[in-house]
Amino acid sequence: MAHPAFRKFNEQETSQIAQISESLLMPRQIQAQLCSQRESDRPVILQDIYNQVKKIKKDKLKGRRPIDALIDTLHQENFVWSSARDSEGHITSLFFTHPLAIKLLHGFPHVILMDCTYKTNKYKMPLFHIVGFSSTNKTFSGAFCLMKNETEPSYTWALNQYIEKILNNTNLVPHPFIVIEGDLALKNSLKKLFLE
């Protein structure tokens, strides 16, 4: 294995790694692509690619925390969003949806699926996902909410944002069918907000 100084990526390779990583290819796929295009027999080490992708992501943050960069992106891309903060100013919940998703929910309001993933994102927060179904049985993302936990107050806050940002602002009738898994906290919040 060559010394890191001899494995350094040139400007073209660095640019190519940045471009390829934007398309969400895995580092191993980036490695294969670089190896096939490299004219010299210098090795392309997988760890070097991981390091370069990490550096690219850090540079994109420009000193901001990841959550602040996400909020900046939501602003720039005209998302509809709201956040809840604790007493120290840290974000505890972040609800967001795109105007096109709101139009889809307005066009196909009959069946909505609500589900929450576990802490599998970089923020280590559950992601509450609201999914709609088109008339051709295709699914689309209606809204998302990063929550501090999967408790009834967190679901109630997320559902209140959904009502305020999507249902109230678009004259959309409440959905006749809401499909959920057996999450009791979500079920209780839905009963409280939609059935009472």
pLDDT for residue 73: 92
pLDDT for residue 119: 67
The stretches of 23-178 forming alpha helices (DSSP H) are 27-37, 46-61, 66-76, 99-107, 152-162, 168-170
32-90 per-position pLDDT tens digit: 888 888 777 777 888 888 888 888 888 888 888 888 888 999 999 999 999 999 999 88
101-139 per-position pLDDT tens digit: 999 998 898 889 999 987 667 778 899 999 999 999 899
Residue with tokens 């088109």: 134
pLDDT for residue 143: 97
pLDDT bracket for residue 15 (50, 70, 90): confident
pLDDT for residue 60: 86
What backbone torsions phi and psi does residue 8 show, to the nearest 5 degrees? -55, 140
Give the torsion through C-alpha atoms of 24, 27, 30, 32, to 10 deg: -140
What does the alpha-carbon distance between residue 135 and residue 76 come to, in Å, rounded to a whole number?
Answer: 31
Model-level pTM? 0.78
Domain boundaries, the chain: 4-61, 66-195
